Copies of this chain bind each other. A is one copy, B any other.
Amino acid sequence: MHRNPDPRGTRAHEETHGHPVDGDAVESRARSYAVSKGVPFTPMRQSVLALLAASGKPMSAYEIAEKVSDARKLKAVQVYRALEFLQEAGCVHRLASRSAYFACDHLHGEGETVVFMVCAQCGAVQEAASELVARGLRGAAKTTGFRPRHPMIEVEGECAECAGTPER
């Protein structure tokens, strides 16, 4: 299996500083989920997850289809099927603001309110759970009698690295 390639060093700073996601950990979570559902963790699912974990940055489904190492060129629909499983398993999230998918090695609690912070420069995503945000949402909902079920919070901005690099 692959250890994550290590960062720091080689590449020019576009390709590099996305991420990092522990590929083994996230894969084992996916396997557990597969077992719990009585379905197989197939090579298809494995390769898509491995690619996302290795890249550490959001990729579109078509980009995944092109780059899966697996020799065979995947059709979009196959990628979407794998992504569906991986999202259910909690190993992959979808970024609505970019129609892109990325691997996640956090273990999110049931009602946890998670914030995705997406760097406009390099595309890297950081996640943070925030109870304060959750309270804010509950408060906002209460004023109108709205029953919140599934929040989606994506913040565009600049990651620490890119903010430190004056850009251009």
Instruction: Tell me, yes or no, whether A157 is within 8 Å of chain B by CB.
Output: yes
Instruction: Decide if the interface of chain A is mainly helix, strand, loop or mixed.
Output: mixed
**Given known A-B contacts A136-B130, A144-B126, A153 and B156 have beta carbons under 8 A apart:** no
Instruction: Tell me, yes or no, whether A3 is within 8 Å of chain B by CB.
Output: no
Contact A145 B133 (CB under 8 A): no
Instruction: Tell me, yes or no, whether A40 is within 8 Å of chain B by CB.
Output: no
For A39, the chain B residues whose CB sits under 8 A away are none
Contact A146 B130 (CB under 8 A): no
Contact B160 A156 (CB under 8 A): no
Contact B117 A144 (CB under 8 A): yes
29 contacts between A and B (CB under 8 A): A96-B154, A97-B152, A115-B137, A115-B140, A119-B146, A126-B144, A126-B146, A128-B144, A130-B139, A130-B140, A132-B132, A132-B133, A132-B135, A133-B133, A133-B136, A133-B140, A134-B136, A137-B155, A145-B160, A146-B157, A146-B159, A147-B159, A149-B155, A150-B157, A151-B153, A151-B154, A151-B155, A151-B156, A152-B156
